Every structure is written in C-alpha cells, then in structure tokens.
A and B are shown apart, each in its own frame.
Chain A
Amino acid sequence: MNWKHYFTTSVGRKLVMGFTGLFLVLFLLVHCYVNSMIFISRNAFNAAADFMGTTVAIRIMEIGLFAGIILHIIQGLMLARMNKAKRSIGYATNTTNTKQVPWYSRSMTLLGTLVMLFLIMHISHFWVPSRITHDLNATKLPNGVETHDLFQKMLDVFQSPIVVVLYLIGVASLAFHLFHGFFSACQTMGLTSHKYKNFLKGFGIVFSVIVCLLFAAMPISMYMGWVA
C-alpha cells in the first residue's frame, strides 16, 4: 500500500481532518494573541500586525495556512457527503437524541459551513485590503516605521452593528465547532487513551471558550468604544 492510499481510507481522511484542524487551532492561538494587542494600544497592535505582514517566514506560513484550511474544508465536505450516502433509507423515527450526545457533535458540517461563510467575510474585511489591494491609511509607529493602520480599519469595520452581530455568530460557531473538534482530532490521532481522555475533552472546551471569548470581545469593544 502506498502513502496516498494510507490517507484516502476512511481513517486516513479523518487523519487529514485532524492534522489540518489542529494546525488551524494552532493558528487561532497566534491570531488571538496578536489581535489581543488592541487591548493594549493602537501602536502595540499595529506593530504586531506589521511584524506579521512583513516577516518572510510568516508570509510563507500564511501560504501553508491557506492550503490547510482549503484542504480541511474540501475534505470535511467530502466526508459529509460520503457519510450521508451510507444510509440511503433513513429511519422513520426521530433519531436526534441530544441527551445521548451533544448537538454540536452531530452538527460539525453545519458549524463548519458557518465558519467558512464567516471566514469569507472576515478575509475580505482585513486580509484583502492589507495584503492585496493596500487601500488602508498609513500610520507611523513610534520607531519610525511606516505601516498600515489596521487598528483604524477595525474601528471602521466594527461601527456597523450588523457586522458585529455577524462576527459574534461566526465566533460562536467556531467555539461549538471546536467543542467537538478538538477532542475529535485527539481521538482521531489516538491520543485519547483512558489516562488522557477526560483531560483532553476538558482542555478542548476551556481552550475554545477562552479563545472565542477573546475574539468576541474585539468587535464588541471596538463598537462600544472601549478601546481607542
């Protein structure tokens, strides 16, 4: 059996989901850390954003990130379609028994699709103007370096209550996606033995709550004018 085949069996495809999923989780951590600079100051955030945008190694990793997310989305949607086809005649009785397993565990495709729609909006808000079209105001950092005023862009974008609400829906979808996703990826990689099972389950939930609360706080505090 060759390598390609190892990753196209049912377990192999799930390994691809798990690896890309955890890679995206790692990115979330970095992204959340950098963006939390808005709570410190305009310059702190703009300097961090400038570092992310101008460091060559990070720009290369950015390509990996896009590849990872596209792979994750394509594989996720393929799996959903393949799995649905395995039961041509469904049950007549309602099988959505949320007492047996949490609803979000059964809604990964829906939650993932919501995250995807959110990502399209999010990328067009910030990544496109800063990396592609360059239509952002310039600002000077205290050390004299000239860069984009991404902080100002955030302030502008989050003036619209509709945008703020859409961001909150996106972040909530991500949180629930990860409630199941983090543990699921660990299980797929075989890490959830008796010893670590409960720890990994708990860690995934605590991690998702903290990261997503921080993300949610960003549009809210911009809109409310808590940061300036």
Chain B
Amino acid sequence: MEHYSMNLTLKVWKQKNTKTKGHFETFQVKNISSEMSFLEMFDVLNEQLIAEGKEPIAFDHDCREGICGMCSMYINGRAHGPWHHTTTCQLHMREYKDGDTIVVEPWRANAFPVIKDLVVDRQAFDRIIQAGGYISANTGNAVDANSIPIEKHKADEAFAAAACIGCGACVAACPNASAMLFLSAKASHLALLPQGDPERKIRAVNMVEQMDKEGFGSCSNIGLCEASCPKGISLENIARLNREYLGAVFGEGGDNA
C-alpha cells in the first residue's frame, strides 16, 4: 500500500496513580506515518508533550515485536486494537485514516489496578502461576531432549498453550473479567506433558482458587477471550482445565489429554 501521513485525534485515559480517579484527555497528533506502529505514534505524541513541557502518557511496552505481552492498550473497544492475533506494538497506523479519532483505555478489571495512565498492575497473573503453574523437577544439567518421548499431537498442543505471553487481553475483553483463558493455557502446557503429572491433582484447584482470590470473574464460555488473544490460545484449554478440575474433585486426576 502507498505510504501516507495523517493527523489524528486521540482520547487517552489519564490517571495519576491507583488511588486517584482518572479521566479522558484529548490530544492532537500530526504527520503520523502509515508505516509507524501504534506505539511509535504514542512516542511521537509523548515527545510532543515533553517539548510542550507537559507530562508524557505512561504506557507499558518492552519488546515491540509481539512476544513480551506488555503493551496493554484497549483501543476503540478492542483489546490491542482491531487486528486479529495482534499485540498493540504490532498494530500499524495503516489501519487508520487522516482525521480519525482513536479512544485508548487501560485494561479494565478490578484485579488489574491502574498504576498510572495506561499502565496496569498484572502481578495477579504471577500469583496464579505461583499457585500451580510449575513443575517440581530437580534442576541440574538439561536432560536429553528425547529422553522422555511425547506424542506429536500432545507436544503440539502443549506448545500452542505455552505460546501465551501473559498479556491479559483475555481478561480485558471478557465481560466477566475472567482469567480462565490465561489460567488454562498455563495449566494446559504442563497438564499435557508427563513432566506435569506429579502436581496434577492440586494444580487446577490451586490455580482456580488463586484466580478467585485475585478478584477475577468466572467463565461463561462466551469466547471474547479467544477472539482477542494475540497468540490464538484456544477455548479447548479451558475445557481441559475444567476436566482437570473435575478429575481432582472425583479423584481421577484428569486424563492427560
């Protein structure tokens, strides 16, 4: 596509800290290139604000290549903006036209309190992982890659689940602010492998308990999480998590599938 430049109106959430109330502020940015990423557009805006002696907008980012999961922005009613399977840093300005207005909000969930502007505290995810998203193997030298043979389809499914980058888009998009897609991805990539077997009976239950404690909602199987996930984590992981949970309740301990 032809390269073009555009002027935009941005309505961005501003909030001093967790305790204060936030509000929207309107900004104008000029000469934004269609080749820029969404975050580069924010860089331009922030440089402009600094030059004007104003405070720049705080937003999270790190890798800027779609793998770290930091760039949480809720853009015009969609987590990470309108592109499928895309993080905010991989959203590019060719999506927008000259004169567009873009509304940018932080992830909204009580379990993700706003730290400042668009930055939210996602440590609740870490605590869910600590509650059960681990295996208790002795460390030491890495073992030989093929010493434990694993069926191809299980390896593939475990790998697909392990692709979760912990961005929280699933929570942001869910009407219940449920963390079940994240939780189920973190539980699945272990539940599918023999290395995850020793903790099988406690993993699902402990992680679900922690999720509840953190103040996330329950899963109504609506599917907006799957639709918003930049890594294409499937709802099938939630079914597997539920199976693991039932296995713990009825003593069977899941079916490793």
**Chain A interface residues (CB < 8 Å from chain B):** 1, 3, 6, 9-15, 79, 82-95, 97, 100-101, 105-106, 108, 180, 183-184, 187-194, 197
Contacts and interface: CB of A to CB of B under 8 A. Distances in A.
B74 A91 contact: yes
A83 B175 CA distance: 8
B105 interface: yes
Contact residues of B: prevailing secondary structure: mixed
A93 to B, nearest CB: 4
Contacts of B205: 1, 6, 9
Contacts of B249: 3, 6, 12
19 contacts: A3-B249, A6-B205, A10-B218, A14-B219, A15-B246, A82-B217, A83-B217, A86-B178, A86-B215, A87-B108, A87-B177, A89-B108, A92-B103, A97-B77, A101-B224, A106-B222, A184-B221, A187-B239, A190-B242
B109 interface: yes
A187 B238 contact: yes
Contacts, number: 135
B212 A94 contact: no
A112 to B, nearest CB: 11
A13 B236 CA distance: 19
A73 to B, nearest CB: 16
B240 interface: yes
Contacts of B74: 91, 93
Contacts of A101: 222-224, 227
Contacts of B108: 87, 89-91
Interface string B37-70: 0000000000000000000000000000000000
Contacts of A97: 77-78
A105 to B, nearest CB: 5
Interface in B16-30: 22, 24
